[in-house]
Amino acid sequence: MPNLLLVSDTNNGKTTIVSRFVSQHPPALNPEGEQSTYPVIMIQAPPQPDEGRFYNAILQKTYALFKPTSRIDQRQFQVLSLLRLVNAKMLIVDEIHHILAGTMLRQRHFLNVIKYLGNELQIPIVGVGTQDAFNAIHSDPQLENRFEPAWLPRWTLDGKESSLEYRRLLSSFEKLLHLRKPSHLDEPSMALRILSMTGGTIGEIADLLTRSAVYAIRTKGEEITPRILERCGYIVPSKRGKRMT
């Protein structure tokens, strides 16, 4: 089955994207009120590449009754049977870069578990994570061939199309903030200032603009200006570690 590996920097919207996809494909209930289908299942990879915890996460997500102390092979059988029963069409594994928290042997074993599920169920598997996720998947030649990488880049002003998309994003934020005065966030000087402060990840942009909007309301300015961007309490990512020393 075709698989996908969604890769981007931290705080750049990966989980939000897949969570929205899951919400668009909710479980369907039969007339008796019992769960009959579960088209898309999304779990978070365990903190370490642990097969048992992986199965537990799937069983918990589908509200299945199971014994965490049961043998691995029993939970594996239960997972396979359950996913067939609920007619699962896709499995999404978020934070898949957690694989790298284990030894090479445990990493290899965990990747084999993912490969086995895909083979047995014949459903697409979507891995979501950072650059480390790409490195983890590409450590296995067979998985490398199965998982097509999709990169989620940072926002940028480089190039006409990228610049236009970024400024549209800022315009959308401005509409959502509902300040009484226009802030003109999409103007070149403001757009560049916001980009330089946040590094271009959508999570940082949202944090900066939210803090700025709150500060603008509290100070009765009702607009975001360069001065408010600097005084709203936002700390640029490169200075956060230095502030603790």
The predicted-structure confidence for 120-135, as pLDDT tens digits, reads as follows 999 999 999 998 888 8
pLDDT of residue 107: 87
Segment 158-166 shows an average pLDDT of 93
Q: What integer best gives the mean pLDDT of the chain?
A: 91
pLDDT of residue 239: 81
**pLDDT above 80: residue 36:** no
pLDDT of residue 243: 53
Assigned token pair, 213: 């909007």
**pLDDT above 70: residue 170:** yes
Residue matched to tokens 């403001």 = 190
The span from the CA of 147 to the CA of 7, in Å, is 11
Report angle CA 73, 74, 76 to the nearest 5 degrees: 60
pLDDT of residue 34: 62
Segment 11-19 shows an average pLDDT of 93
- Is 140:133 a contact under the CB 8 Å cutoff? no
**pLDDT above 80: residue 32:** no
> Which pLDDT band holds residue 241 (cuts at 50, 70, 90)?
low
The span from the CA of 119 to the CA of 146, in Å, is 11
Segment 160-177 shows an average pLDDT of 95
**Residues 123-144: b if buried by 16+ CB within 10 A, e if exposed:** bbbbbbbbeebbebbeebeebe
The predicted-structure confidence for 178-227, as pLDDT tens digits, reads as follows 999 999 999 999 999 999 999 999 999 999 999 999 999 999 999 999 99
The span from the CA of 57 to the CA of 157, in Å, is 40
pLDDT of residue 189: 95
> Which pLDDT band holds residue 68 (cuts at 50, 70, 90)?
confident
For 142, phi then psi, to 5°, come to -70, -40
Using DSSP's 3-state secondary structure scheme, residue 150 falls into strand
Q: Determine what percent of the chain is predicted with pLDDT higher than 90.
A: 73
pLDDT of residue 215: 97
